[in-house]
Homo-oligomer: A and B are copies of this chain.
């Protein structure tokens, strides 16, 4: 529905793109005036050529909380760079049970998994109102010729998400998984330049549980237990990491990346 416009014509503009493009060229308002390339794919394109790329690849749009950026099954035409807000990608099985594959924060790119089959395998749902850059994959391919750094950066990004998923797959018990999850979030907030030991859980307990393959009750219990131990302080969605040292310990000896 909302994303139906994206499907057919590969070289076409993204929905809602026109306004943003004009803004970004002319520096109209606040920092939506900054080149979108710089915001969405920082460091990828040499400063001098930004305008050229800017005018071709990137559009953006705002997704209200709870709405889908794209649905599983839709043809793949765009990659999406989160600019603000937060999303989850969920793969829904035929029974209708969803599984949350990942959460997405600003600076992260969605849609890679769709390249292979040319269709989205997962849906992306905004958890909070989110601004997302649309990157036409067709144009990305063309541009890749002129700016090899672009293709490379995309590979790097794809690589990063592979790493994350691999890491999640690993550990076993509830406490370990939750500790690791909190640290992962923390690191991703830090990557955004936001406070990393005091942040908002932008998803529900149920979503956390689903993502970590736990029951929501277990998430609650482990949170309570960690709170009792003075490792975290959590009230509703307000999470504070009080003893990251110990949290690291609980998360188990993990590889030093992620």
Interface residues of A (CB under 8 A from B): 72, 91, 93-95, 99, 101, 112-117, 121-122, 141-142, 144-145, 148, 151-152, 154-163, 165-170, 172, 213, 252-255, 257
Contacts and interface: CB of A to CB of B under 8 A. Distances in A.
B152 A155 contact: no
B148 A148 contact: no
Given A155-B155, A158-B162, A162-B165, A170 B91 contact: yes
Given A158-B112, A158-B155, A162-B113, A101 B169 contact: yes
Contact of A148 (B145, B165, B213): B145
Contact of A159 (B94, B112, B169): B112
A128 to B, nearest CB: 23
A169 B99 contact: yes
A117 B158 CA distance: 12
A99 B152 CA distance: 28
Nearest to A166: B101
